[in-house]
Amino acid sequence: MKTDSKQRTGWRIVQWSRQGAVAAFALSLLLPGVATARGPVGAVATPHVVATIPVGYSPTGVAVDPTAHRAYVTNQDSSSVSVIDTVHAVVVAAIPVGAQPTGVAVDPAAHRAYVANNGDSTVSVLDTTHTALVVTIPVGRYPKGVAVDPIAHRAYVVNFGDDTVSVLDTRHTAFVATIPVGVYPEGVAVDPAAHRAVVTNNLDNTVSVLDTRRNIVLVTIPVGGAPFGVAVDPAAHRAYIANIDDASVSVIDTSRDADLDARRRSHRDNPRPLRETVTPDNLAAATARERAEEAWYAHQFLPPWVAS
């Protein structure tokens, strides 16, 4: 299987080619206990369609609340969200939201769903217990993707029209911050334990990695052509980026150790330019700044027994 392993700005990235994906799939067909086109091997059933459920016009985004057995589907041309009972595979409600809803994310513990309305630059907050609209919050222009950090009580909304991410406080249903990112952001996913959010920037072929505690961009990483969708495995601290133009997936290490490595490499490869005459006084001040920065990095990203 062909892979192309790359080191970029200290973050580990693996590009998977289309041929590699096909080879991996073909190999999986030969493994014991995996269903094949000829029929199930062992006790594993072949994946198949179990139901087709009519919803609104131009369904676009979907999110699932596994604890409540509900799925939420945005209907872009109906300006509504269809609520599906996942046990019985039927629509139980249709909730009117803003214009042209696209992305949707669910916070199961808080019983809330967040819908990005691309047509009127708002987010609709839904009460998933009572299946009702709670409030509509203005965000940036043409919001698309949305992701929730249930630990930090934050929602992240990518605004395609002004190259930003809007941060919402989900406990108080309030706007918190706007973070500039790359050009034409499309998708966003969160790694709650690492305090990271990953945003795909479709036009400049990059992803922006955000520090969700300080609401800043930590690093911008080149990936494949026209990155679009993104998903995070929080247990493994990996983000998977779907690249439209070159039929590949980029895999990024979202752990804090990777971030520290990126910062150190950036500092090593791009030292601060000298813009003044060196004197004993300003040399001492510069040395003190460097030591303070190193201490800050260690405090933020290293375990206590290493930082000390």
- Specify which residues 96 forms β-bridges with: 80
In DSSP notation, 155-197 reads EEEEETTTTEEEEEETTTTEEEEEEE-SSSEEEEEEETTTTEE
Q: Which residues contact 183 (CB under 8 A, 6 or more apart)?
A: 163, 201, 202, 203, 204
Q: Which of 69, 75, 138 is nearest to 101 (CA)?
A: 75
Which H helix or E strand runs over 117?
Answer: strand 112-117
Mean pLDDT of 246-262: 78
What is the tens place of the pLDDT at every residue in 187-238? 999 999 999 999 999 999 999 999 999 999 999 999 999 999 999 999 999 9
CA pair distance 222, 224, nearest whole angstrom: 7
What is the tens place of the pLDDT at every residue in 96-117? 999 999 999 999 989 999 999 9
Report H helices in the chain: 18-28, 256-269, 280-301, 304-307
Contact call for residues 121 and 97 (beta carbons, < 8 A)? no
